[in-house]
Structure 1
């Protein structure tokens, strides 16, 4: 039986709530990561310098039916601190990608990413019936590669000259994946880290 395609859903942990992204999140998101080159450096899109520029990115994401976008809300403050998506969904082949993720710099190396990924991975494997979840990043983004590896995902390889960066240079993309039979052990490690 094939997996189920994801729909907007709210997932709540101890530190974050992952909820459907809406324009109402814009002010929090801009405060968290707008006009910060380090936040946007590896996302393949120019840094939003104004709330209007971030609104354009948010609107484009919401208009693209190939994404299921989520705001990541920090429960302690109640504010959105980043966004993430399910993308490249292929329910017939039981796979999807978690990507287009960013968090404000104040939330790097905190429980935010670990718990967000724990919630999204659990939903993908346990509720939607996915057999594979993929994640990918720029080969120069070592911080992201380390974070993905800490999730328990395996590095699969590199697509060379995969995508043009905003500065015109070419990005090689590192692919990682986690399979359904690897998920129980990865889930235990992630839960322990929290």
Structure 2
């Protein structure tokens, strides 16, 4: 059973807007896609170059149609530019769980506080609107920047799945680190701590 997101779900505050990803967003994300190859270093689905970006978006939109994912494009209100993308995935209403990931931003938006603002809006929506009990995060265990970002928003490390999955275009398999935030943690302290960092 899947969560039925309203197709017009928009999350925003005074500095950032997350709206549903659309096919036409290829143009909005193309500059990052083409000019910043380091963005895809740890990604399991590459979106480098126009053709790969088109495929990336098509896959995301198909998953939204199937009700298992809900992808957003991220718009930075301060600069007036599109910053990247993020999504809910592995949505399971029966278990009241979902994962938050496929998150990437152009280099101009990293370290600006944009990610924390996005995560606050997404977590607030997940726990307070959808009523989820657990939000899970995963990353390549070598992706220290991503892991540090997840810890800084209040995620708890649960462990590492060794030799978990192949890395893109390589015979090498990655270890995946698992982190999460639980509903009670959100209301007890994570929400307030994260809000104070915005």
What TM-score does the superposition give when structure 2 sets the normalisation length?
0.90
Aligned residue number for residue 183 of structure 1 = 186
Report the counterpart of residue 196 of structure 2 in structure 1.
192
Q: Is the contact between residue 41 and residue 47 of structure 1 (CA under 8 Å) also seen in structure 2?
A: no
Rate the CA distance shift 1:47–1:20 in 2: closer, same or farther, 3 A: closer
Q: Distance in 1 between matches of 2:137 and 2:6?
A: 19
Q: Unaligned stretches of 5+ in structure 2?
A: none
The one-character-per-residue Cα deviations of 1:134-187 (angstroms, maximum 9, x if unpaired) are: 011000001111100011010000111111012221111000000011002111
Deviation at 1:93, TM superposition (A): 1.1
Judge conservation of contact 1:70–1:84 (CA < 8 Å) in 2. Answer: yes
Alpha-carbon offset, residue 60 of structure 1:
1.6
- How far does the alpha carbon of each residue in 1:6-61 deviate from its partner, in whole angstroms, 9 at most, with x for none? 4441001122101000122222212134342211111113451x223211211121
Query: Could you tell me how far apart the structure 1 residues matched to 2:75 and 2:52 are?
Result: 21
Query: After superposition, what is the alpha-carbon deviation per residue over 1:84-110, rounded to whole angstroms, capped at 9, x for unaligned?
Result: 111111111111000111111111111
* Unmatched tracts of structure 1, length 5 or more: none
RMSD of the TM alignment (CA)?
1.8
Higher relative contact order, structure no. (Cα contacts within 8 Å, ≥ 6 residues apart): 1
Is the Cα contact below 8 Å between 2:46 and 2:53 reproduced in 1? no
- Tell whether the 8 Å contact from 2:18 to 2:73 is kept in structure 1 after alignment: yes
The alpha-carbon distance between structure 1 residues 47 and 23, as it changes in their structure 2 partners (threshold 3 A), is closer
Does the Cα contact within 8 Å between 1:36 and 1:47 map onto a contact in 2? no
